Amino acid sequence: MYCGTHDMVYCLMCIATEHRSCGDVTSLTDAAGSSLQQKEADRLQEEYESIKEVLTVSKRKKKENLVSLEENRNTIEKRLQEIEEALVEHIKKLSQQDKMSLNETYCKVKDELESDIKMLDCRISEMERVRGKFQSTTEVNQEKRFIQFKLCQQIMKDAKILHAQFESGGKVLIDFAENTSVTGQLVEVKSLGKINEARINEKKEIKGQKEIKGQKEINVRMQNDKKTCRINDICQLDCGACILADWRNKNVKLIDTNRNVKSHFDLGFLPNGICKTGHNEIAVKLCNNKIDMLSLSTGIAKVRSISVKGGGGYWGIAYTGGKFWASAETAVDVYDTNGTFEKSIAVARAGTRQMTVYQNSVYLADRSDGIVKLMSDGTKQTKFQDSKLKCTVGVCISNDGTVYALDKPSNTIVMFSQDGKCLGQLVPEIPSREDPESLCYDNKNECILIGYNSSDTVTALHLHD
C-alpha cells in the first residue's frame, strides 16, 4: 500500500503496525493510477540528470584533489630532504670550524712549548759552559777566580728564576667544552615539523581575488656571504631579472629569470631600499645618507652617488617622473637626480617601509595598518586599509593593478583593488622564525617574491584566479 503522509510504499504489516495513524493511506492501484504519476516521473528524470551532473563534478574534484594531494606529499618530502641536507651541512660546517679552532690552538701551544724547550736548552748549555770555566781556573789569580765565581752565581740565580717561572705556569692542556645543548636539543626534537590535514571549503569567488597555486623556495646565498641573508627590498628589471638588497651582507644580488643568482655587488654600507631607475639601471638607498646609482649593462657597476638629508637610516625608496622618493621616518623626501631636495611629504604614523611605483604613483607600506598611495604631485589619494593589517612592511603591485600588502605579525598578504576594496588574503607557508620583510611582483613568472629578515632563501608564490 502507499502512505501519502510519508510518500513511500510499504507492506501490509508495516502499514498495520507503523502507519495506523497516517490519514493518507491508499492501495497501490489507486496510487499508481493518479494523474500525478507521469509528472512525478518526469521530475525524477530531471532530478536524476541534475544529481548525476553534480556527482560527476564531485568525482572530478576528488580526482583533482588526489593529484594535488600527491603533489603536496612530494613537495613536503622534498622540503624534508632539503631540511635534512641543510642540517647535515650545517653540522659539518660547525665541526669543520671547531677542528680549525682546535688546530689553531694546538699550533699556538705547541710553538710556545717548543720555544720554552729551546730556552731551557740554552740555559743548561750556559750553566755547563760557566761551570767548566770555573773548574779550570785553579791556576789563575784570585781576582779572576772571584769574577768567574760571581758570574756562575748569577747564571744559577737566573736558572732558578726560569725554573720557578715555568713551574708556576703548570702543564698546558687542550680542553673541549662540548655544547651539550646542540645534541640535547636535537635528541629532544621529535619531528622536523608537523603534518596537518586541512580541509578548505570553496568560497564564492570575488572578482579579482587570487589564490595560491603553489610556492617554491629560491636559494639566494652566495659563497662570499659571511652572514645569513636579510632581503629587505626587491625590484624587477625590464628583462625579467630581479635585484635583491641584502642588508646583512651589504650587497645587491642579481637573479636571472631561471631563479639563479648570477652576480652581486658589494656596497660597503647597509642598503635600506632599492628601485629601478632605467632599462638597466637601479638606485640603492644606503645607511650613510647616500643614494648610489648602479648600471647593470655589463655586470654591476657604480655610476655615481647623491646625498640625502638624514634619511639613510630609514627603509624605502622609489623612482618616478625623474624624481627620487626617499623615506625619512614618517615622511617621504623628494629629490631630483642631482640630489637637490624639493619637498617633504608627511605620510605615515608609524614609519615608512618598502615603496613601489605603479602608473607614476608611489605606494608605500605604513608600519601600521595599510598602504599609502601618493600621486606624482605628492598629494595623498588613497590608503588601502583592512583590519587584518597590523604592521604593514611590504608592498607590490601586479600588472592588473592588484595591490599586495605584507603584514608582519600574521605573515599574511592582503589584496586590494585600485579602488581600495579588499579582495581577500593569501596565507603562504612561512617557515617558523622567518619574518617576511619585502615583496616584489615578478611579472615574467606571474608570482610574488617574498624576502625574509633572516633566511638564505626567497619564496616564489605562484597565484591563480
In tens, the pLDDT along 377-396 reads 888 877 898 888 888 999 99
Pairing of strands 331-336, 341-346: antiparallel
Vertex 378: Cα angle to 374 and 384 (nearest 5): 20
Confidence (pLDDT) at 44: 75
Confidence (pLDDT) at 204: 46
Write out pLDDT tens, residues 171-202: 888 888 888 777 777 777 777 777 777 766 65
Write out pLDDT tens, residues 283-308: 999 999 999 999 998 889 999 999 98
Confidence (pLDDT) at 201: 61
> 373 is written with which cell numbers?
598611495
Residue 252 near residue 282, CB atoms below 8 Å = yes
Distance of CA 459 to the CA centre of its chain: 7
Nearest Cα to Cα of residue 392 among 455, 332, 349: 349
- 42 or 457: which leads in pLDDT: 457
Q: Is the pLDDT of residue 138 over 60?
A: no
> 68 is written with which cell numbers?
594535488
Q: Which of 75-84, 142-151, 244-253, 314-323 has the lowest mean pLDDT?
A: 142-151
Instruction: Tell me the average pLDDT across 92-119.
Output: 90
> 204 is written with which cell numbers?
564564492
Instruction: Tell me the average pLDDT across 301-326.
Output: 88
Instruction: Tell me the average pLDDT across 413-422.
Output: 91
Q: Is the pLDDT of residue 369 over 90?
A: no
Confidence (pLDDT) at 267: 94
Write out pLDDT tens, residues 70-83: 888 888 888 889 88
Q: How many whole angstroms separate alpha carbon 338 and alpha carbon 307? A: 9
Q: Which of 187-201, 318-332, 342-356, 361-375 has the lowest mean pLDDT?
A: 187-201
Q: How many whole angstroms separate alpha carbon 152 and alpha carbon 138? A: 15
Q: How many whole angstroms separate alpha carbon 452 and alpha carbon 459? A: 9
Q: Is the pLDDT of residue 132 over 60?
A: yes
Confidence (pLDDT) at 431: 73
> 458 is written with which cell numbers?
626567497
Sign (positive or negative) of CA dihedral 77, 82, 83, 89: positive
> 339 is written with which cell numbers?
640630489
Write out pLDDT tens, residues 13-53: 988 888 888 888 888 877 776 555 666 777 777 778 778 87
Q: Residue 206 — very low, low, confident or very high, per pLDDT cuts 50/70/90?
A: low
The CATH topology of domain 211-464 is Neuraminidase (2.120.10)
Confidence (pLDDT) at 4: 84
Predicted model pTM: 0.57
- 131 or 225: which leads in pLDDT: 225
Average pLDDT, the chain: 85
Q: Is the pLDDT of residue 412 over 50?
A: yes
- 209 or 293: which leads in pLDDT: 293
Tell me the CA distances in angstroms from 322 to 237, 318, 327, 376, 377, one per residue in order.
17, 10, 17, 11, 12
Q: How many whole angstroms separate alpha carbon 391 and alpha carbon 152? A: 82
Confidence (pLDDT) at 312: 67
Q: Is the pLDDT of residue 232 over 90?
A: yes
Q: How many whole angstroms separate alpha carbon 387 and alpha carbon 369? A: 7
